[in-house]
Amino acid sequence: MADARIAFVTGAASGIGRATAKRLAAGGDVVVVADVDAAAGDAVVAEIRRGGGTAEFRAIDVALEASVTECAGRVEKELGPVAILVNSAGVLQNVADIASFSLEEHDKVWAINYRGTYLCCRAFAPRMSGRRSGTIVNISSTSALGAMPLLAYGPGKAAVQNLTAILAVELGTDNVRVNAVVPGYVLTEQMQARIDAGKRDPRSMRLHSALGRMVTPENVADGIHFLCSDAASSITGIALPIDAGYLAAVTYLHHPGLAGIHPRREDRAPVA
């Protein structure tokens, strides 16, 4: 394990973060499962260890500067230099209009999704720059690229994507790469809970993609693993869609001339 990289993954107790922690560990990295949920985080660590990987849990609240600063310092002191940072901690938002959307929820979404990403980059990027080595992957969203009734989530993800490009240039001469992934509709625990509560329509999410299906957390984790690999050594400043073709399909499927020439997508058999 002498050559193993240390990967710090926030939000790693569930969803994309959990899948990413498992994928990086399967590739030989030492993974820090960083999350506010200690019980779920410990369970992910145990799962990784049962599979032969190496992982440690560290408690963190990415919305709090003191928590991020303390955790980053402790990890580097106890485990060694962090080579990979994946900022996966995040929360979803239900549809709302500006008259009904509470400022408290707005600020919570921004505090975790954008400010949490910023604080973690701020904690680890200078250390990586000093070592002239490192890679950071942030989580954007297709919601960042078009108008959706997500008043905090969409603008927050757009800010994450812009921050990614800024840091790619700022840190590039120090050999630190910064990229983002742009997931479409991902069937995480948070998304399933909203489906179960009637807040999301899974049929609509499937049909609004080129492949006719939703994305899995493992799909996103594979993309993150690639961006952290030597195969991506000249890739920085990008936002990589992992969306089952949502961005390609969303305008195509709404073209007013499509109905007469294209088979009804809902009549096709779903992809297994």
Q: 94 lies in a domain?
A: yes
pLDDT at 194 over 90: no
Give the model's confidence band at 272: pLDDT under 50 very low, under 70 low, under 90 confident, else very high: very low
- Which tens digits make up the pLDDT trace of 35-78? 999 999 999 999 999 999 999 999 999 999 999 999 999 999 99
Domain with residue 170: its CATH number is 3.40.50.720
Q: 196 lies in a domain?
A: no
Total of domains in the chain: 1
The token pair that represents 74 in the structure block: 């402790």
> What pLDDT, on a 0 to 100 scale, did the predictor assign at position 178?
99
Long-range contacts of 249-254 (CB under 8 A, 24+ apart): 249/208, 249/209, 249/210, 250/146, 250/208, 253/207, 253/208
17 vs 94, residue with greater confidence: 17
Give the model's confidence band at 227: pLDDT under 50 very low, under 70 low, under 90 confident, else very high: very high
In total, the chain counts a number of residues equal to 272
- Per the structure, the complete domain to which residue 114 belongs is given by 6-187+215-246
Residues identified as active-site: 153
Q: How many CB atoms lie within 10 A of CB 140?
A: 26
